[in-house]
């Protein structure tokens, strides 16, 4: 959908993203309330601090700050070693103290970059703030739930570097992977743990400067809705531009998951928020040693893993990308190849991504529920590679492994699925099949390849328990005898 839309456009797309990510902390950002509020009854995870009662004092969550720095470093940002929190003043019913504690001019991280293969997307800043409460609207009244109020929130802001929809979607996926790999957040979008904000405008191709307007769409809760919103806004904004109008600079919201946006308010400027340093929290200082220690906890990131798989195992890029798509998937794969000969790694990867994942999809089984043990897939591939079983039999064994979780070698032994290596026995069957198919010899006068029909017949007789090249050789030997 995106490619067609992109190609049919008369304008160039300019997109920047802001992403809000709930940090994986036990307690909220500035109080000790339990941060695991999802599904809890309304206003059961609250205290004077996160309710914004007068006189309550915020105490920053050390773990949340470490996670924010970890993400900033994973996104190749510079770090402000002298940093602070600021008050962002605005009134909203779900923000009872009428300001949000955030960061303004000294964010923890700034000037980073994320590679999305075709190009680098510049990261403007990575800062820490607190989440707001939640307003629940019905037809007659609005209810307020403050369980989410004060939950630690990391905001990532990109430069307006996106020109193609597919790049936006790739970046969104990659960022989610980075966040999950590094343990910064579970990034469960269904629970609102990762939300996108789109900044978008269009310009005529070749125009050197950024457009004079920018439309912001808030609270996009999934990557598929993000794609729909972009499609909707391309249509809406190009229709206005086609008529010679300039779209209004404004904030737009969503009513449902269709991607249709509606105007909410004309955009505030930063100075509307009257930012000032948070007087209740002293400035925050980091040492090089602290930063180095945090950097050490990041671990191998998705793009690094992908390059390693390509370089060390000779996997193709698409296969490697599928393998790294989630951390549990790479962990499964890495267990499967443990101790395997390097020449088998690509084969194991293909069986995993191709056959195992196909079985999982077809049966709606998650990786955590998979009965096949990684080492048992390795054994299956070894049996195949050593010529102990044929590839049609390997598929049969795999589906049995999928059902029962048994080892490949046990299934092969119990069911007598090993390849027939007795060439005498194969020759007997070949003779019988040739005798039963005299027409094939006739056909071979016109078409020398007609004998290939016999391979299938012999394989069928042997219930797949032979290597097709062996069978082919036996047939040719017999025909030429």
User: Which CB atom, from 47 or from 444, has the smaller least distance to Zn ion?
Assistant: 47
Q: Which of residues 47-76 bind Zn ion (CB under 5 A)?
A: 47, 49-50
Smallest distance, Zn ion to C-beta of residue 291, A: 29
Is 48 or 469 the residue whose CB approaches Zn ion more closely?
48
Stretch of 39-47, 103-111, 207-215, 242-250 lying at the interface with Zn ion (CB under 5 A): 39-47
Residue of 195, 227, 215, 111 lying closest to 158 (CA atoms): 111
Rounded alpha-carbon distances, angstroms, from residue 226 to 5, 80, 197, 293, 342: 15, 31, 9, 35, 41
Tell me how many residues contact Zn ion (CB under 5 A). Answer: 5
Residue closer to Zn ion, measured from CB, 70 or 148:
148
Q: Give the nearest distance from C-beta 61 to Zn ion in angstroms.
A: 11
Asked if 230 touches Zn ion (CB under 5 A), the answer is no
Residues 6 or more apart in contact with residue 414 via CB below 8 angstroms: none
Taking the C-alpha atoms of residue 272 and residue 88, their distance in angstroms, rounded to an integer, is 9
Among 19, 33, 126, 323, interactor with Zn ion by CB under 5 A: 33
Query: Is position 450 an interface residue for Zn ion (rule: CB under 5 A)?
Result: no
* Binding piece for Zn ion, criterion CB under 5 A, among 27-35, 106-114, 210-218, 251-259: 27-35
- By the rule CB under 5 A, 101 interacts with Zn ion: no
Least distance from Zn ion to the Cβ atom of residue 156, Å = 25
Rounded least distance, CB 71 to Zn ion, Å: 23
Distances (CA, A) of 273 to 68, 87, 89, 157, 214: 23, 8, 5, 18, 19
31 sits near Zn ion (criterion: CB under 5 A): yes
- Under rule CB under 5 A, residue 356 binds Zn ion: no
Contacts of 386-395 spanning 24+ positions with Cβ under 8 A? 387/419, 387/467, 388/412, 388/418, 388/419, 389/417, 389/418, 389/419, 389/465, 390/419, 390/464, 390/465, 390/466, 390/467, 390/468, 392/459, 392/464, 393/417, 393/419, 393/464, 393/465, 395/355
Q: Are strands 78-79 and 109-115 parallel, antiparallel or unpaired?
A: antiparallel
Location of structure tokens 């395997």 = 340
Residue 31 or 337 having the CB closest to Zn ion: 31
Nearest-approach distance from CB 151 to Zn ion, in angstroms: 9
- How far, CA to CA in Å, does 362 sit from each of 224, 349, 357? 22, 19, 9
301 binds Zn ion (CB under 5 A): no
Nearer to Zn ion, 59 or 143 (CB): 59
Q: 15 or 33: whose CB is closer to Zn ion? A: 33
For residue 137, the 8-state DSSP code is: E
Q: Which is nearer to Zn ion, 49 or 68 (CB)?
A: 49
Compute the least distance from the CB of residue 214 to Zn ion, in Å. Answer: 35
Task: State the residues that interact with Zn ion by CB under 5 A.
Answer: 31, 33, 47, 49-50
């Amino acid at each position: 959908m995106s490619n067609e839309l992109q190609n049919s456009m008369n304008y160039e797309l300019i997109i920047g993203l802001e992403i809000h990510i709930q940090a994986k902390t036990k307690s909220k950002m500035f109080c000790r309330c339990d941060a695991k509020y999802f599904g809890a009854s309304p206003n059961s995870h609250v205290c004077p601090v996160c309710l914004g009662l007068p006189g309550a004092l915020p105490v920053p969550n050390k773990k949340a700050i470490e996670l924010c720095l970890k993400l900033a470093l994973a996104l190749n940002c510079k770090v402000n070693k002298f940093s602070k929190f600021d008050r962002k003043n605005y009134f909203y019913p779900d923000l009872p103290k009428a300001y949000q504690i955030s960061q303004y001019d000294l964010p923890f991280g700034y000037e980073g970059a994320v590679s999305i293969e075709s190009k680098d997307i510049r990261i403007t800043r990575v800062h820490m703030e607190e989440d707001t409460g939640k307003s629940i609207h019905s037809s007659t009244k609005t209810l307020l739930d403050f369980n989410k109020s004060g939950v630690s929130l990391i905001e990532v802001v990109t430069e307006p570097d996106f020109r193609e929809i597919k790049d936006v979607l790739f970046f969104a996926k990659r960022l989610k992977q980075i966040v999950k790999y590094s343990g910064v957040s579970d990034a469960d979008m269904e629970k609102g743990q990762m939300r996108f904000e789109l900044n978008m405008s269009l310009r005529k191709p070749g125009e050197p400067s950024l457009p004079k307007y920018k439309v912001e769409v808030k609270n996009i809760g999934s990557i598929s809705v993000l794609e729909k919103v972009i499609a909707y806004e391309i249509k809406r904004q190009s229709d206005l531009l086609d008529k010679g109008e300039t779209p209004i600079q404004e904030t737009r919201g969503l009513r449902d998951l269709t991607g249709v946006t509606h105007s909410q308010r004309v955009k505030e400027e930063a100075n509307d928020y009257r930012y000032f340093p948070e007087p209740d929290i002293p400035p925050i200082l980091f040492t090089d040693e602290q930063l180095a220690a945090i950097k050490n906890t990041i671990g191998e990131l998705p793009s690094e893993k992908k390059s390693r798989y390509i370089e060390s195992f000779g996997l193709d890029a698409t296969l490697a990308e599928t393998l790294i798509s989630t951390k549990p998937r790479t962990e499964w794969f890495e267990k499967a190849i443990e101790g395997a000969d390097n020449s088998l790694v690509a084969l194991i990867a293909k069986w995993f991504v191709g056959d195992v994942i196909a079985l999982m999809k077809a049966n709606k089984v998650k990786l955590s529920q998979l009965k096949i043990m990684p080492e048992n897939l390795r054994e299956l591939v070894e049996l195949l590679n050593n010529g102990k079983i044929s590839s049609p039999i390997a598929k049969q064994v795999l589906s049995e492994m999928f059902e029962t979780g048994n080892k490949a070698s046990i299934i092969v032994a119990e069911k007598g699925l090993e390849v027939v290596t007795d060439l005498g026995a194969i020759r007997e069957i070949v003779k019988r099949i040739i005798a039963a198919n005299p027409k094939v010899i006739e056909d071979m006068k016109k078409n020398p390849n007609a004998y290939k029909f016999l391979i299938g017949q012999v394989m069928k007789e042997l219930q797949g328990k032979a290597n097709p090249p062996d069978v082919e050789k036996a047939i040719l030997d017999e025909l030429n005898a």
